[in-house]
Chains A and B, each alone.
Chain A
Amino acid sequence: MPKIIGIVEDDQDQLENYADAMRRKGYEPRQFRKADAALKAFANSPPDLAILDIILGDDVDGGFSLCRNLLAVHPAMPVIFLTDRVDEIDRISGLRLGAWDYETKPISLNFLAEKVAAIFRIMEYRSRPPAKDEGLIKCGGLALNENRMTITWKEIPVDLTLTEFRIVAALARRPGDVKSYEALMESAIQTVVANNTINTHIRHIRKKFAAVDPEFDKIQNEYALGYRWAED
């Protein structure tokens, strides 16, 4: 049975494109251009994953309120924001609402699909009882389950977005090795972005680790190149 993906986007053309791409990847898209219609439909039959634009018609924060309402009813539903709003404050707002990821336009459909697949894979793993040592990376105080997208630092869980998680996973997989900006982009399933975008992700990651351990300094900048996870 194909996974149902709810897509809420006020631009008809983009909506169609996303739907076509999802369908091509074997998913079953449900398209909506308005928040209230989407909320009504999702209340009865919730999708397996929702892709939300933030600006919906005249409601500039329509996607945010929709996300809040959906997660109130279906807390486990993965949500990805896909928006043209690039401001830091929007990104933070979206992620705080409980979204798995925050993607800015223009996006690559392939990457979007890849992310969706990754999320379903994680959901799949999470629904199963944990197998011993499956996809587990341990590195100093870090314990990271790639399959389940769980991460702990010194036994304390750290809440990361999908992109952030994948960056940390890429770094922690080979401690001491430099991961170039390009490699990190690839791991994070990002289109070609400026180094600055990676820097921003790193900053968020550091901040989240620092919240559980102010002494955290494992992610080191290799200026001009990228980053690396410091060896113990």
Chain B
Amino acid sequence: MKPGIRARLMILALAFLVIPALGYYSSLEIRGFLLRGQQSSQLMAVQAIASVLRERYDLFLAHAGAASSKEWDAVNYIYSATAPIKLDGDSADWGSVIETGKRVLGRESLIKETGGGFDPESGGFDLAMARWGERVYLWINARDQAVVSQAPGRAAPEKADHILLTLIDGDKGQTEYLIPVSPTGELSFWARPGPGEPYLRDETLLGRSAIGPAGYRMEIAIPESRIAGSMMIKILLVDVDDPRTGRERYTLGPRDDETPGLIRLGYLESNSIQRMLENLELGGAWVMVVDSKSRVRAESGSLPVEPVFHHVISRRIMSEGSPISEIQEDGAGGDLVVSGAPIKGLERDILGAVILASSASVAQSMQEKAMENAIEASMFAFIVITFGLALFATRLALRIHRLRREAEGAIDATGRVTVESLRASRDAGDEIGDLSRSISQLLTRLRRHQDFLALLPGALKHEINNPLNNITVSLENLEAHTPAGDAHKYIKSAGRGAARLKELVDSLAEAASVEDSIQKEKFERVCLSSLLERYMENSARMDARHTIKFINLAGDAYIEGSDFKIEQMLDKLMDNAMDYCPDGGMIEARLERSRNGLLLNFSNSGPTIPDHMKEKIFDSLVSTREGRGGARPHLGIGLYIARVIAEGHGGAISACNLPDGNGTMFQMIFPENR
């Protein structure tokens, strides 16, 4: 079966699902557009930052007195603290200095190993420097499984784990301080005037230490003036494993120079840059300023994923010397827009680079939002339109169904027009309304034709009766005036012809009026079983050629009807049976009760009815007879009348052949009147 209107419209409605697809493509466009916008605004930002920093090229220079630029690599930066540093052995007040500026010294820093082996896993130290006010602070985090602190009293300080710090005061010469790990936390500083001389307490420096399970930490404050002259210090860590003998296990220190422990210092003015970056208020963006060696000078903002690409980017910026912008995956499923611009010095030399990265999440979220909107809108549209279409289609289907039902009901089972004007969609202005009106017109015309056909036999009878009467009476007169002889034979013959004509016209008129007459009939309670019994008994009495019998299985059975009409119906059935039943054959009526009413089977032996005739046999002017040419005309009206009477009694009639193939059976069903 092909899909109905509703199903077809529903399939069509699926076309609306193309909207999300279109939405997806347009969201891709939006995303591209947004990303391009983000890139260009980022480029503008980084170029602006780069221009500002260009004006402050001095910030990129090492502190005055620092080594020349070829030695930059060896400079140890002194960071600017963001808050005052307390000497308490705790690193909390150092802010991010330790994290970003610490120097980790491990195996490669091993200078001397005397006692047992140095274990790089548990040994080594971190060094960080910061400035606050007029002081430079040192932060040392030594890893030591067995800390040996200075024994109480005035024990030799060199017999504890200690730091050797040498301040080089330029032309004033240098002072080496021995700083043992203090058991109390209060650091003591020991200096000796010359090599080999004993250590004496020196009170010019301040510091504190703290011992933990993994080692010790020291915070040391040095007046800035003590290092400003040379911008160099020497620092060594000496690990002692026996407080009694003072035996040294190893010595660690930076090896930047030929002199072990010597490091060059430089002030890192990044704070200015940092502050500047922070003042920019770049929202969710991450900004980094690197120097020409790709060292981070300032960083602001954060990204969900650690930016590991800035080296690559900064090198590219500095080698190309021009701004770049690209989109990278952030490694967490999202995208990053990364832009960078070189910072150029006064001589167009490249001082560093500004790198700015921000998540493409805005574009992404915009895309998702756009997509979401498209899907939501299209689903809404889909649902609304589908619902509308379903409603429309249902209404349409319903209207067509109603029209069809009414149109079907307008013509009854016998093909008679019962309704001339359809009510369904009668006043509708659309095509279905047109269809309804067309069908009504059609029915009206059909009805007129039907009425004409119904009136025809009556009119014909009326018109024929006069000339027929004329013939009949003329023949009688002719017969009276003609002497007996051959002529009488012809006169009789003509008379028979006229009589037959009369019968014919009567039959036609009877058929035409039977429906009308049964409607006018006053119905009463009729005992069908006794009527049948009398009828069959009387028929049997008059007819010796056939075996006529009645079998009553229903007992006393009543119907609402007219005995005249039932008799007329039985006459027609009996006539039909007599015509077909061979001599000695059987004609039988059988009455029984069925679920649907009283069942009357009227059967006779004889020829069967061809299958294709079983329905048509009850139509007017249909006969299966092939010119048997009896005394009576066969117009195929008898069974038609039988059907009209059966139906007029609320019953039905059908024809079939006997199972043994030796006859036919007419089956009638009547509603019982109990």
User: Chain A interface (Cβ within 8 Å of chain B)?
Assistant: 11, 13-14, 17-18, 20-21, 24, 84-86, 104-110, 178, 191-196, 199, 203, 221-225
Cα A193 to Cα B539 with chains together (Å): 19
Partner of B469, one of A20, A84, A195, A221: A84
- A107-B499 in contact (CB<8A): no
CA–CA, A109 to B568, complex, Å? 29
Inter-chain contact A109/B510, CB cutoff 8 Å: no
> How many residue pairs between the two chains, A and B, have CB atoms under 8 Å in the bound complex?
96
Q: Which of B564-598 contact A (CB under 8 A)?
A: 564, 567-568, 570-571, 574
Residue from B473, B498, B535, B574 within 8 A of A18 (CB atoms): B473
Q: A21 with B541: in contact, given A14-B466, A84-B465, A221-B567 (CB under 8 Å)? A: no
**B332 at interface, CB cutoff 8 A:** no
Question: B531 to chain A: closest CB distance in Å?
Answer: 6
Taking a contact as CB atoms closer than 8 A, the residue among A14, A178, A203, A224 that contacts B470 in the complex is A14
Cβ of B41 within 8 Å of any chain A Cβ, yes or no, is no
**Bound complex: CA of A17 vs CA of B502, how far in Å?**
19
Apart from the given pairs A11-B466, A106-B471, A192-B503, 11 other A-B contacts in the complex at a CB distance below 8 Å: A14-B473, A21-B473, A21-B476, A86-B509, A107-B469, A108-B472, A109-B473, A195-B567, A199-B568, A224-B534, A224-B574
Contact of A85 among B462, B468, B476, B541 (CB under 8 A): B462
A142 to B392, CA, bound (A): 76
B563 on the interface (CB 8 Å rule)?
yes
**Across-interface contacts of A225 in B (CB, < 8 A):** 538, 541-542
Closest beta carbon of chain A to B566's beta carbon, Å: 8
Query: CB distance B538 to A14 under 8 Å?
Result: no
Q: Is the CB of B531 within 8 A of A223?
A: yes
Residue in A105, A195, A221 whose CB lies within 8 Å of B466:
A105
Nearest chain-B residue to A53 (Cβ)? Answer: B466
Residue of chain B at shortest CB distance from A82: B469
**Complex: how many Å from CA A196 to CA B570?**
12
B462 touches A107 (CB 8 A): no
Q: Which of B468, B476, B531 contacts A109 (CB 8 A)?
A: B476
Out of B470, B471, B472, B570, name the residue touching A223 (CB < 8 Å): B570
Q: Is the CB of B472 within 8 A of A107?
A: yes
When the two chains form their complex, are residues A203 and B564 in contact, meaning their CB atoms are under 8 A apart? Answer: yes
Residues in chain A near residue B502, CB distance under 8 A:
106
Interface contact B472-A224, CB-CB below 8 Å: no
Docked pose: A84 CA to B503 CA in angstroms: 15
The reply to whether B567 and A224 form a contact with Cβ atoms under 8 Å apart is yes
Q: How far is the CB of B538 from chain A (nearest CB, A)?
A: 4
CA distance A110 to B473 in the complex (A): 9
Q: Evaluate contact between A17 and B509: CB separation under 8 angstroms.
A: no
A105 to B469, CA, bound (A): 6
Does A14 lie within 8 Å of B469, measured CB to CB?
Answer: yes
Q: Is the CB of B473 within 8 A of A11?
A: no
Chain A CB within 8 A of B477 CB: yes
Q: Closest CB-CB distance, B320 to chain A, in whole Å?
A: 118
- B466–A109 touching, CB < 8 Å: no
Q: Is B426 an interface residue (CB 8 A)?
A: no
CB distance from A123 to the nearest CB of B (A): 24
A222 to B592, CA, bound (A): 23
Chain A residue nearest to B566 (CB atoms) is A223
Interface of chain B residues 518 through 536 with chain A (CB within 8 A): 531, 534-536
Q: Name B484-509 residues within 8 Å CB distance of A.
A: 498-499, 502-503, 506, 509
Q: How far apart sit A166 and B535, CA to CA, in the bound complex (Å)?
A: 25
Q: Judging by beta carbons under 8 Å apart, are B461 and A86 in contact?
A: yes
User: Are B498 and A106 in touch, CB under 8 angstroms?
Assistant: yes
- Contacting pair B535 A224 (CB below 8 A): yes
Smallest CB separation, B322 vs chain A (Å) = 117
Which of B466, B531, B536 has a CB less than 8 Å from the CB of A84?
B466
Asked if A192 meets B461 with Cβ closer than 8 Å, knowing A14-B466, A105-B469, A203-B564, the reply is: no
Q: Which residues of A contact B506 (CB under 8 A)?
A: 193-194
Q: Is the CB of B510 within 8 A of A11?
A: no
Contacts of B312 in A (CB 8 A): none
- The listed residue (A104, A109, A193) touching B465 by CB distance below 8 A is A104
Known: A104-B465, A106-B498, A224-B539. A17 touches B470 (CB 8 A): yes
B465 touches A110 (CB 8 A): no
* B462-A84 in contact (CB<8A): yes
B473-A17 in contact (CB<8A): yes
CA distance A192 to B461 in the complex (A): 17
B468 contacts which of A105, A108, A110 (Cβ < 8 Å)?
A: A105
B365 within 8 Å of A (CB atoms):
no
Provide the bound-state CA to CA distance between A14 and B473, in Å.
7
Question: B474 within 8 Å of A by Cβ?
Answer: yes
- A203 CA to B565 CA in the complex, in Å? 12
Q: A196–B510 contact, CB under 8 A? A: yes
Bound-complex Cα distance A178 to B538 (A): 10
Q: Could you tell me the distance in whole angstroms from the C-beta of B288 to the nearest C-beta in chain A? A: 117
B472 touches A222 (CB 8 A): no
Give CA–CA (A203, B524) in the complex, Å: 14
Q: A21-B476, A109-B477 are in contact. Are A224 and B468 (CB under 8 A)?
A: no
List of B residues within 8 angstroms of A85 by Cβ? 462
Task: Tell yes or no: B413 within 8 A of A by CB.
Answer: no
B480 proximal to A (CB < 8 A): yes
Expressed in whole angstroms, the Cα–Cα distance for A178 and B502 within the complex equals 28
Q: In the assembled complex, how far is the CB of residue A99 from the closest CB belonging to chain B, in whole angstroms? A: 18
Q: A135 to nearest B CB, angstroms?
A: 30
